[in-house]
Structure 1
Amino acid sequence: MPKRQEPNLHRTAFVADTTALILFFTATGIINERWIAEMAWDQVLNARLIGVVLMVPVARPYGLWRDWVMQHAGSSRVSKLLWDSVALVSFQVPIYAAIIAFSGATGSGLLRGTLGAALMMLLLGRPYGAFLNWVRKMFGLPPGGKRPMSLGS
């Protein structure tokens, strides 16, 4: 009886996408929360702990969302940059705003933090997309974005 590979592929994709999201956005989140939103270190720690807990269930859905959005990208660097940024901002900014609000950011700090995150995500969309593809490659997976809701296989 042949082995069924699909459950292992989905599990590997989940681990790869989750690893990429946690590593990349823990680092960038700290920068935004501490120096742009001007949150205290204890609030930054709280936001990062909440962020990690929330990144686990949203990393793979984001990876699938990005794969789907990236189908609109052409082969040019500008097109990939644009669509990676659209994918990241549209999915992650609302989640991020909730994280820092729950962690104690209010008023102008919440607004600055959310706008700062939106700006960062616009700028980091393509670098994160490339990082995600690199992490997927390290896990033996193809880059995403070839077909809707797929790993590109």
Structure 2
Amino acid sequence: MAKSQNTRQVILRSFIADTIALISFFTVTGIINERFIARMTWDQVFDARILGAILMVPSGRPYGLWRDWFMRHAVETRQSQIVWDTLSLVSFQVPIYAAILAISGAGADEILRGSLGVIVIMLALGRPYGAYLGLVRRSFGLPFEARKTMSLNVK
């Protein structure tokens, strides 16, 4: 029974940590991209950030698991970690981001500029976000890179 309780606590802390990291990090970068690169109005930016935050709640933990899976392919070199962190971020977040822009009222040209802009941002921020996620996880008493305790196969 104690192990089951501990497992539930780890799952809850993992969900909270991954969600807080995603929302806090990408709200700021989203505002910068939407206003200054995609040239969206402040009303559209506000709508996109509200929708983004709502969508980040259910996608924060799945992204954390997605990233953990990608990072299992990385070796201990800095270059490998940068590549795998960046690939995981771009492949998971860009399709979601394009949908957020579309739902927020952005036109096709704004969606294209915004998506290209966020790809550039994510190429630059893939590893910094991975490190930030690790810091948030550690602040919740979780390991930086989840192997067993944060996987879907928690026993």
Residue 10 of structure 2 is aligned to residue 15 of structure 1: no
Q: Report the residue type matching 2:121 in the other structure.
A: M
The answer to whether the 8 Å contact 1:71/1:148 transfers is: no
Query: What TM-score comes out, normalization by structure 1 length?
Result: 0.94
Gap runs ≥5 in structure 1: none
Distance in 1, matches of 2:101 and 2:45, equals: 8
How many residue pairs get matched?
152
**Can you give the 5+ residue segments of structure 2 that lack an aligned partner in the other structure?**
none
Higher mean displacement: 90-99 or 117-126: 117-126
| 1:2 positional shift | 3.6
Q: What is the one-letter code of the residue matched to 1:22?
A: I
Residue 88 of structure 1 deviates from its aligned partner by 0.2
Q: Establish whether residue 127 from structure 1 lines up as the match of residue 116 from structure 2.
A: no
Task: Give the superposition deviation at 1:50.
Answer: 0.1
1:70–1:80 CA contact under 8 A, matched in 2: yes
- Specify the SS of the correspondent of 1:5: helix
TM score, norm. by length of structure 2: 0.93
How much identity, in percent, do the aligned residues show? 59
Q: Which amino acid aligns with 1:69?
A: F
Q: State the Cα distance separating 1:145 from its structure 2 match.
A: 4.5
Pairwise CA distance, 1:13: 0.4
Question: Which residue pairs with 2:62 in the alignment?
Answer: 61
- CA-based RMSD of the aligned residues comes to 1.8
CA pair 147-12 structure 1, distance change in 2 beyond 3 A: closer
Whether the aligned pair in 2 keeps the contact of 1:68 and 1:147 (CA below 8 Å) is: no
